[in-house]
Amino acid sequence: ETGVTQTPRHLVMGMTNKKSLKCEQHLGHNAMYWYKQSAKKPLELMFVYSLEERVENNSVPSRFSPECPNSSHLFLHLHTLQPEDSALYLCASSLFLAGGSYNEQFFGPGTRLTVL
């Protein structure tokens, strides 16, 4: 596996279900991100982790719960979601969180989530 991988690629869940999205980066990066991509809207940054420590929670509802057990893995735990949470959830990673030079974010293929 190379780059950033995400599983599952597609997920359909009811509003009362609990599910988890998984992201793994094979790039040796120290920072990881969760984004939400909805139709006709810009990518929305949800959570940011640096060296397994959460550094950003962008006013995300508590029904989304992130977990970063190590610098290579990132999870997004979902429970009691709403239909408006249906979207493409993208994971990204970067070598560092920030610095004086450009810090590219590498994206995974995303998980297409549908909430019924």
Partner 1 sequence: QKEVEQDPGPLSVPEGAIVSLNCTYSNSAFQYFMWYRQYSRKGPELLMYTYSSGNKEDGRFTAQVDKSSKYISLFIRDSQPSDSATYLCAMSFSGTYKYIFGTGTRLKVLA
What DSSP string describes 29-83?
A: -SEEEEEEE-TTS--EEEEEEETTEEEEE-S--TTEEEEEEETTEEEEEEES--G
Q: Could you say whether residue 105 binds partner 1 (CB under 8 A)?
A: yes
Q: Which of 4, 46, 87, 115 binds partner 1 (CB under 8 A)?
A: 4
| Residue that the structure tokens 């429970």 belong to | 79
Q: Could you say whether residue 99 binds partner 1 (CB under 8 A)?
A: yes
Q: Could you say whether residue 53 binds partner 1 (CB under 8 A)?
A: no
**Distance (Å, whole) CA 20 – CA 29:** 22
Instruction: Considering the complex, state which of residue 16 and residue 28 has its C-beta at the smaller distance from partner 1.
Output: 28
Q: Could you say whether residue 2 binds partner 1 (CB under 8 A)?
A: no
Q: Total residues at the site for partner 1 (CB under 8 A)?
A: 28
Q: Could you say whether residue 21 binds partner 1 (CB under 8 A)?
A: no
